Amino acid sequence: MGVKARKKAITKKLKKGASDFSASSASKDEAREFLPLEGGPAQKLPKTELKENKATVLYIGRIPHGFYENEMEGFFKQFGTIKRLRIARNKKTGKSKHFGFIEFESPEVAKVVAETMHNYLLFEHLLQVQLIPPEHVHPRLWKGVNRWYKPLDWVKIERKRQDKERTLDDHKKLVEGILKRDKKRRKRIEAAGIDYECPEMVGSIHAAPKKIRFDAD
């Protein structure tokens, strides 16, 4: 074998060794990204990025009776500054639905409140407090939040209904309802086998006045 042939063979061996070394180092680096699992082949670890906590809105469930907006604000402001809060209420009666929402200025404060107040015993109720991600906050959540609910005066409404003047048709419907309920009561008494004579109802349905037709002169 000549000198040129020897040099060629040595160069070939060096190139082969370098390629094997690079392949082994690459396989080692790649192996670091794999996690061997029991009962299966190695799998590549997913790259997870820690998301910054930006949630400032909290859902609060199982709110006890009597713990309303003023009480909630006075209690939760010990953690930090409150931007907005609201309690879900019935539109007709104004009664609390026992859940609400509260928004803090700082995400860190909201996280502390969620961790501290979840399953907190308050007036025999375990509060359910959870963070709501910003993308899950409904755009109309805070609509009308500054408009405090004015309870209806049901006594005034009922007084007005009772004091209104009744027409002849209204009186007729009232008497018919009384007679219908009395008839059902008599049937229930007879079905029970009780020998009882119910007193007759006093009054009757007044006849409608006759319409008077005036002839045109």
3-class SS string, 173-210: HHHHHHHHHHHHHHHHHHHCCCCCCCCCCCCCCCCCCC
Looking at the structure, do residues 63 and 122 belong to the same domain, yes or no?
yes
| Count: domains in the chain | 2
Parent domain of 73: 57-136
Indicate if the pLDDT at residue 42 is higher than 60: no
Which pLDDT band, with edges at 50, 70 and 90, does 63 fall under?
Answer: very high
Looking at the structure, do residues 122 and 69 belong to the same domain, yes or no?
yes
Alpha helices in 33-106 (DSSP H): 69-76
pLDDT for the residue numbered 25: 52
Looking at the structure, do residues 108 and 160 belong to the same domain, yes or no?
no
Looking at the structure, do residues 168 and 123 belong to the same domain, yes or no?
no
pLDDT for the residue numbered 103: 95
Q: Has residue 48 been placed in a domain?
A: no
Structure tokens at 55: 């949630």
Q: Has residue 104 been placed in a domain?
A: yes
pLDDT for the residue numbered 34: 45
Q: Has residue 91 been placed in a domain?
A: yes
Please state whether the predicted TM-score (pTM) of the whole model is above 0.85. Answer: no
Strand 96-104 and strand 82-89: the pairing is antiparallel
Q: Has residue 83 been placed in a domain?
A: yes
Q: Has residue 99 been placed in a domain?
A: yes
pLDDT for the residue numbered 41: 53
Instruction: Report the CATH number at residue 131.
Output: 3.30.70.330
Q: Has residue 117 been placed in a domain?
A: yes
Structure tokens at 65: 């009776």
Looking at the structure, do residues 120 and 160 belong to the same domain, yes or no?
no
| 184/194 Cα distance (integer angstroms) | 14
Residues 204, 175: contact at Cβ < 8 Å?
A: yes
Q: Has residue 82 been placed in a domain?
A: yes
Q: Has residue 81 been placed in a domain?
A: yes
| 76/72 Cα distance (integer angstroms) | 6
H or E segment at 130?
A: strand 128-132
Question: Between the CA of residue 47 and those of 33, 34, 38, 44, what are the distances in Å?
Answer: 9, 11, 21, 9
Tens-place pLDDT, residues 12-38? 766 666 565 555 554 444 444 444 445
